A and B are shown apart, each in its own frame.
Chain A
Amino acid sequence: MSTAVRTPPAQAMATAAARGASLRHALHAEWTKLRTVSGPAWLLLGIAAATIAVSTAAVGATHCPQNLTCPVDTTKLSLTGIQLGQAIVAILAVLTVSNEYSSGMMRVTLAAMPRRQAVLAAKAILLAALVLVAGAVAVFGSVLVGHLILPGHGFTAARGFHPVWLSYGPTLRAACGSVLYLGLIALMSLGVAVIVRDSAVSIGVVLALLYVFPIILSFIGNEHWQHRLERWTPTVAGLTIQDTTGLRSLVITPWAGLGVLAIWAAAAMLAGGLVFRFRDV
């Protein structure tokens, strides 16, 4: 303990092997912290449950009557639940950091592991991995629901609708992309939480980032600003990964849209990392 506190970073243990070891130890410590409280497990379960529930409700309520043409992107419809799931991802990500600050645990953590980058990296890796797993369950459940219900509601192959299933290329891309989307939302939220520290303020900032841009977008008609918002805001650009119809009218391609979210997440993590490195606890 005392040696760990005295050792300044990057002097004694500058070798790559030592770095790997400290990251490994940090990962182990973070994993212990996460699995020994019940909150994260419930939140992970909540991500999958909320996503699938909203997707099921959206799919179950959508019918395509015989005599109408239905301008519905069946894949995007099946993945509607991501809109709610991302909020729970944000809670999980924010609490991973802010709980340690509010309880004072962060001082213990950093006293035990002065290599702060390793601590943050361990948190990010673990969080991303867990969210990807929960997200995969959530997305697979949603796709399965769409696959099972939509053909019975008039969205049949005979009427030109592709089956919502992973064998169809665009659906596979949308599904995998939605899982990655949740992972990136987690990282962006983590970065914000590291900067802000307080859980309430962090979650407020993250929820604003998630939901305000699409609302403002829906209110304005000015094409220049519409395109700017569609290209550069985290959720609007990021969720283009779910589009499988009307791709030509998108102002940003699906993968580029997810890339924009990745930039947001990277920027948040980078800023968080710098603040975390140079700020007192």
Chain B
Amino acid sequence: MTAQAISVPRPEAGSSDGPRGGGFGSLLRAEWIKFRSVRGWVIAMILAALLTIFLGVFAAANANIGCQINGGPPKSGRACLPYIPHGPGGEVVTDSFSFAHQPLTGNGTITVRVTSLTGEHANLASAQRAVQVGSGLVPGLAPWGKTGIIIKRSTHQGSAYAAMMVTGAHGVRMQDNFTGDTAGLPGAVSAAHPRWLRLARSGDTITGYDSAGGTHWTQVGTVQLTGLPSTVQVGMFATSPGYTVTQNSFGGASNSGGPAQATGVFDHVSLAGGGPSGTWAGTTVGGGGPAGAGPGPGGGGPAPFTRNGGNYTLTGSGDIAPVTPGPLGPFPTVTIGQSLAGAFVGLIVIVAVAAMIFSTEYRRGLIRTTLAATPRRGAVLAAKAVVIGAVAFAVGLVAAVVSIAVGVPKEENQGQVLLSAPVLTEVRVIIGTAAMLAVAAVFAVALGAILRRSAAAITIAVVTVVLPFLLAALNVLPAGVGDWLLRLTPAAGLAVEQSIPRYSQVTTVTSPIQGYYPLSPSAGFAVLCLWAAAALALALVMLRRRDA
């Protein structure tokens, strides 16, 4: 037997590759031929793609929970969808608040003093029953209940805005266009500790200031609202998202909270600038309460703002914020990640094949031939990892593209609001899923080389990725523990599937089922890569030290 015959299983494979023994290229070629000539492995890889697509589309097509609007007949599908405003950035938003406003033409400045922010919410003990805002309320202010001043393009939901506000538990904030959020003065507002707020418009630029005493002003932030028309709406607002107590303490489904409203009291209201200095008009933007929580106070009529001399009192319900997945949102939502649920099955199949790459050679004794032909054991390990990683990447890419292409339209027919992601994010989710499967496969190859037993290698690779997700999603463990599992174990790599950003200004139950992972996509993927690298390093040491 010549060295050439050993290094390449089939004569024709080596012939094109020049020098006998070959470099890393011919090693790759040899490993690729070994892989593709095992019919079971090829079938398994096709099966991995098909199962991923099938289960993903199944999960996407059965996200439906149906709905019942205002005691009417049960509905399902698109009939459930309320009007869904989109913000200037294209994201799905909630834009419901009580608004005392007047037009402002050209540049101008609004200044107010807020002396009180209080809230009421549905009694959580009776929240299981259909509770509407305005009936059976108990005092209590949601952490992100908010009141303040706002400059908004129009009273249409989703139009561009910049606002200065006081909040229930997060001090003074400047927010703009639903996603922007900057902290101002900390602490709660009260008659003894009032908050002065000011918004100044200059062209497209809006600057927010706050002050504790009304004399020394601090600039909180500056935002550009591009394309702002000459005449905008300026005024005072109040609103409050649903009230929750123990969110994020146990899994996802604990307290979904009840509808809430916030009441703000203003004085020292002054408006300087162009336009007719008219009277304040009242509008309930978005018709009052959040969708799904019943009509709010006023039910779409004039906003309940009252004026008593120089004092203004506004009461509102809803929110001015992006919609996030989860039970606390104004309507049921899905993300594109839902149609990737099948990736877990694909992972199990791919990992099973990957773990066999080494253990089969050990069982059949082929490893001796392989290592006799290529004594550089590191190169053998690398070639196997590259081949299986590339195959897993290709399988994952096809499966993810088809799952999303077929699954997402099905999700949109579910009567749940699809929180669509920008195209670049979708691309990252798809490529990330494929890369995650590839790295998990490399992890399994290394485990197979370390353990030489496929059963143990497969179990470790599957369990370390799947079980942390399952435990974090099952609502058995407290959310904090589940988060740590998803930070430290190879399951961190699943973070590449997160398509919706985490907004600190929205109270959200951040369960992995809702598509939220504790690490950013790149950090989570890096954790998975570290595990694979560590396993590869250990495998290299073992391969070199042990006899074959």
Chain A residues proximal to chain B, CB less than 8 Å: 57-58, 61-63, 68-73, 76-77, 80, 83-84, 87-88, 90-91, 94-95, 98, 102, 199-204, 207-208, 211-212, 214-216, 218-223, 225
Contacts and interface: CB of A to CB of B under 8 A. Distances in A.
Given A68-B245, A80-B471, A215-B469, A91 B456 contact: yes
Contact of B249 (A68, A84, A98, A218): A68
A200 B474 CA distance: 27
Nearest to A211: B466
Contacts of B281: none
A125 B416 CA distance: 50
Contacts of A204: 348-349, 351-352, 458, 462
Given A61-B477, A61-B480, A83-B470, 6 more contacts: A58-B477, A61-B478, A62-B477, A76-B476, A91-B459, A199-B453
Contact of B348 (A95, A98, A207, A225): A207
Contact of B352 (A71, A88, A203): A203
B138 interface: no
Interface string B340-378: 010011001101110110011001000000000000000
Interface residues of B, number: 51
Given A83-B470, A216-B55, A216-B58, A221 B455 contact: no
Interface stretch (B62-70, B265-273, B519-527): B62-70
Given A77-B476, A200-B455, A222 B64 contact: yes
Interface string B462-501: 1100110111011011101100000000000000000000
Contacts of A98: 455
B62 A225 contact: yes
Interface of B: 40, 55, 58-59, 62-66, 245-246, 249-250, 254, 332, 338, 341, 344-345, 348-349, 351-353, 355-356, 359-360, 363, 416, 453-456, 458-459, 462-463, 466-467, 469-471, 473-474, 476-478, 480-481, 513
Contacts of B456: 91
17 contacts: A58-B471, A58-B476, A62-B477, A68-B249, A71-B254, A73-B476, A83-B467, A90-B459, A102-B363, A203-B459, A207-B462, A212-B345, A215-B469, A216-B341, A218-B473, A218-B474, A222-B65
Contacts of B332: 221
A219 B513 contact: yes
A211 B455 contact: no
A225 B55 CA distance: 13
A104 to B, nearest CB: 11
Given A58-B477, A203-B458, A214 B250 contact: no
